[in-house]
Structure 1
């Protein structure tokens, strides 16, 4: 783990991660839960640095039923829980942010650009891609503390440039 910059605190069996534990990725994402034969297995929660989390059942390192609305709950950092059925947040009929639903709309003329208030500063020419800031000149996504998260491939680059908010001069 010293080479991959990950860490593990928890039970071990025959030198392998097994039982209950906390596995921390280099990005700061943490898995807290059951592990079997070195893999996420059983009940566990992924905690993301942004405050979001996914809690569910895992089997041989993979979340069971993801994408089918089974065995898992995704919760955004503001407490909003994703519901695959009857999702009523930010749909075609109501484009308000969750914080606006909970706390009301701002007076006319004061736009709310993101669910966070105030919105994060975006460097000029960069993009806010939801889990961090994207610099298109080197194709790197950094977290909001300017720490490396990942390199963007062509598909992610195109998606970010097409859909995400860009930092511009006022």
Structure 2
């Protein structure tokens, strides 16, 4: 295959552009099934120079990437539309996930730093964390507990401040019922004792 062409891979990904000896060679683009696009110059089947655009339109630039790195924790929507007013900050780019006490949210689950284990959001084992993941997560990751500044509590999630819950109760409670259901049962039990 030589010249301009369009090739659809078995996965549904499409290459459009120049080819030489059956390989991507010259200018072209790869359109992935999630509608993200890599456009650039290819050399003997390999990308040589190009850019990647996510399906939402955000363009990745290695030299000027400012999206959710360790120093700039803004979300894509905050980069495009600006930051919210104080007190209305976003904790996530979607619904806020409840993190168990003493755990961190690592994007694909919860991290237990004491045992260095990552669980999925249903608390099933995912992997053991390596040293780099442990250090980054404990330094920059979102925590499942409140911290104090100048003697004043910083509210993280007021629903998790019930001192009657230990870690295992919180995890078990979230596996079977909502927090509100648990508190109703706890309050009823307190009235009966």
State the TM bucket, normalised to the shorter chain: 0.3 to 0.5
Report the structure, 1 or 2, having the larger helix content. 2
Bigger Rg, structure 1 or 2 = 2
Richer in strand (by share): 1
